[in-house]
A and B are shown apart, each in its own frame.
Chain A
Amino acid sequence: MSKEVFVTALNNSLKEIRNICPDIKCSFLFTKDGTLVAEDALTDDIAMEKAMSPLQNLTEKAVMIGDLDSFLIDGSKGKVYISYTNEIYLAMVLSNDADMLYLRSVTHVIIPTILKLLETVFPTPAKPQKLDSSLQLFVDNLSGLRSRFIGDTVEIGHETRNQLLDLLNGGDVNEVEIEAFNGKKARCKVKEIEDSELEKKSLIRIPEKTIQALEVKKGELVKVRPITSKDLNVASKELKKEESPDYNYDIISTFGESQSVMWRILKK
């Protein structure tokens, strides 16, 4: 299903929810990374965009308590209620005397049902696009302490790794070449991790330093190609060509089908 149809269906759903719950002044749906998915017609676009930054900040910090499940601001003139369902946040601006129990029961039933229905009728394009010798994956940044310790290693999900293995026709995937659409390339080691988000959104989590080198941003597509033994042979030949006048390079051994090569530097 095209994105437009999906968004229109959700926009209409929000409108219908407002029709049965007049206490809802406006509502919108957004994802954890701060992307607006849908809104009802009464939502003030500027207000919604302004709200995304504090909301994103909050969803990130809520990891401390096992992610945001719900958030309610009770003010003297109205309320804002945010709830999480099916990997999406529903934000509603409510009148002061809104019946929260009724709203919770309505939204916790209707929104998941609509999302499930839309996914069933029109599966969303969550799978990575397969090219001849590479996959297209979305960039996610690997930041914080983990980024420091992981070096030049990228993280992918189990299914993505299997798809890379298919491209290799045998062997193992321990290293990949990432190519941005600006032509910049980087070679990284690969680590498979258990993370449903990586699988569902076709993400590749790349250390900040490599992201900068590739000149890409979070959410952009990159081509990911597994490194083969052929690549390593070419690399070794290239290296031989560029021999230093003082040193020779000699391959001692290779590991696995397509992996690391151990070099010996010999003084002439």
Chain B
Amino acid sequence: MKMSNNSKSEEEIQNLRRNLEEIKAREGVLGYILRASTSAAVDIKDPSKIIGYAALSASVLESGEEISKIFNLGEIKTILLEGADTKILSLITDDHRLSIFMEKKFDHKELYADLSLS
């Protein structure tokens, strides 16, 4: 699957969901939020953090898109936000917006490769 605004087939999205199921089981991955235009899949290991993570995910993606437009960065490939002990990898594919939450020490590059998005 290629990161672009081209239409993604339902099969590719299903494939992404399958990969996410596998990824979220890994130690150090805290969960993910996958939003489409009319639906969302939220799978966060600590339920008390769902609301906070959802707000942060939306903020990361919105701020990322806005800043990308301001500085003419072109199409967004990835957005990475790192905090004190947690990091978030966000991606935009078609009308799907994905944020994966993980421990800071977790290798996000390896995770990105395993999503089979490129």
Contact = CB atoms under 8 A, between A and B. Distances in A.
Interface in A67-87: 67-80
A144 interface: no
B85 A66 contact: yes
Interface residues of B, number: 32
B55 interface: yes
A51 interface: yes
Given A54-B66, A61-B55, A76 B81 contact: no
A181 to B, nearest CB: 35
A143 interface: no
B72 A65 contact: no
Interface residues of A, number: 28
A78 B80 CA distance: 14
Nearest to B60: A58
Given A55-B67, A64-B53, A64-B56, A75 B73 contact: yes
A65 B79 contact: no
B81 A62 contact: yes
B84 A75 contact: no
A57 B72 CA distance: 20
Interface of B: 49, 52-53, 55-56, 59-60, 62-64, 66-68, 70-88
Given A70-B81, A80-B73, 10 more contacts: A62-B81, A66-B86, A67-B83, A68-B81, A70-B82, A73-B67, A73-B73, A73-B79, A75-B68, A80-B67
